[in-house]
Amino acid sequence: MKSRDSGKKTVSPPPRGGRGAREAKAAYDRAAQALAGAADHVDRTLAQWAREMPDVEIKGADVLNRARRIVLQSRAAIEANFRRHGLDTGEFDVLATLRRAGAPFALRPTELYKSLMISSGGLTARLDRLEGAGLIRRRPSGADARSVIVELTPAGRRKIEAAFREDMELENRMVEALSDSERAELVRLLRKLTQAMRG
């Protein structure tokens, strides 16, 4: 008497070490290589820490270490652009703050150092250099002769507009790897994190 299943075909797994196994291993190796290629310095660093101290939560470093590396990797080119315009980062920041304030491109020193998050002494040193270069002027405030107004000169306006234009061209190139939707999502998440950290 024939078995009820005698007419059914069965598919045997490929023999261990046979062609199917070799193909599967090759596919696995390709996937592993792709994953290794996608990993960055932070991935490798955190993998080492996870191996050495697996009881420590490291999710903060996953984000903040990348933010730090982006800043470090971008600064050299950005600062080189400032130097081509005869400025350092601090001087650029002062001129940019005055320019984006709008006409008449003038602010009180207190408004400047609060915007730049620096001390009044640090601001004074920057203003001295910029005034010596003819890029800003300090004049008495009309409302209070004891206080001063810092304003861009025409030369200062030309300088910051040229430097800012080139800086934005440079920074736009730095984020070209992201699509518009990816960039918008990253901006949204960074904004959320910035607001949360500010409290």
- Whether residue 7 has pLDDT greater than 50: no
Coil, helix or strand at residue 91:
helix
Boundary of a domain, candidates 84, 116, 142: 84
Chain segment 27-50, per-residue pLDDT in tens: 655 555 554 555 788 888 888 888
- Whether residue 116 has pLDDT greater than 90: no
* CATH number of the domain bearing residue 146: 1.10.10.10
Mean pLDDT, the chain, as a whole number? 84
Residue 33 belongs to a domain:
no
Residue 108 belongs to a domain:
yes
Is the four-CA dihedral 113, 138, 99, 134 of positive or negative sign? negative
What pLDDT, on the 0 to 100 scale, is given for residue 5?
Answer: 46
Same domain, 103 and 164: yes
What pLDDT, on the 0 to 100 scale, is given for residue 12?
Answer: 44
Residue 94 belongs to a domain:
yes
Question: Which range (9-13, 71-75, 93-97) has the least confidence?
Answer: 9-13
* Residue of 167, 169, 143, 10 whose CA lies nearest to 84: 167
Residues 6+ apart with CB under 8 A from 106: 98, 149, 150, 151, 152
Rounded to whole angstroms, how far apart are CA atoms 49 and 35? 19
Whether the bond into 104 is cis, omega within 30 of 0: yes
Domain that holds residue 125: 87-171
What pLDDT, on the 0 to 100 scale, is given for residue 164?
Answer: 97
Same domain, 130 and 155: yes
The mean pLDDT value for 45-60 works out to 90
State the Cα angle at 81 between 79 and 84, rounded to 5°: 115
Residue 30 belongs to a domain:
no
Number of structural domains found in the chain: 2
The mean pLDDT value for 66-89 works out to 94
* Residue of 123, 95, 96 whose CA lies nearest to 109: 123
Residue 112 belongs to a domain:
yes
Residue that wins the pLDDT comparison between 29 and 62: 62
State the Cα angle at 126 between 121 and 131, rounded to 5°: 125
